[in-house]
Amino acid sequence: MNKDKLAELIEFVKTTDLQEVVWEKKGSSIRFRLSPDSVSAQEVTPALSTAVPAGAGAAASTEPEKIVIKSLMVGTFYRADSKDRPPLVVEGTLVTAGQPVGSVEAMKIMKDVVAPIDCKIIKALVANGHAVEYGQALFEVEPVPGDSHV
């Protein structure tokens, strides 16, 4: 990124009333964010980051890939079948593809949240009984090899 392009982006941000602007190109990104207490766009500070291409660090890292199970609808998230039952899964639980891990209720209709693959639950990201949005991450999981007989 050259100084002229950076100055041009800063000037663009100053002319808008946006709170945040992200510009990405060729694996690099720049984020301009106004501080909450700034009164004018003159206080714009860029934050530079370089994106790592997918798979670039995979050979060096021995950590398994972590993915998330997301909500398929807006509603209330439940980790158990009923109030007097324990959660369907807890951290460390091994689940098979298609196994229910929770449910989302909207307008008195319950929809199961299922594991998309054989995986291990790493972390529950939403507490029982909390509202969720479409696409919101509910669980962090890591894939389990197919021959592990979950």
pLDDT tens across 47-67, in order? 444 444 555 554 545 565 678
Q: What CATH number is given to the structural domain containing 94?
A: 2.40.50.100
85 and 32, same domain (yes or no): no
Average pLDDT (55-83) is 75
74 and 135, same domain (yes or no): yes
In a domain, 60, yes or no: no
Which range of residues forms the domain containing residue 141?
67-148
134 and 88, same domain (yes or no): yes
Counting residues of the chain whose pLDDT is more than 70, the rounded percentage is 62
Which of 124, 119, 150, 148 has its CA nearest to residue 136?
124
> Using one digit for the tens of pLDDT, what is the confidence trace for 99-117?
999 999 999 889 999 998 8
Q: Which uninterrupted H or E stretch holds 7?
A: helix 3-14
Model confidence at 81, pLDDT cuts 50, 70, 90, reads confident
22 and 86, same domain (yes or no): no
In a domain, 91, yes or no: yes
20 and 92, same domain (yes or no): no
37 and 73, same domain (yes or no): no
| Structural domains of the chain, count | 2
Instruction: Return the beta strands (E) in 16-147 as ranges.
Output: 20-25, 28-33, 45-50, 67-70, 75-78, 94-95, 100-106, 109-114, 119-124, 131-132, 137-143
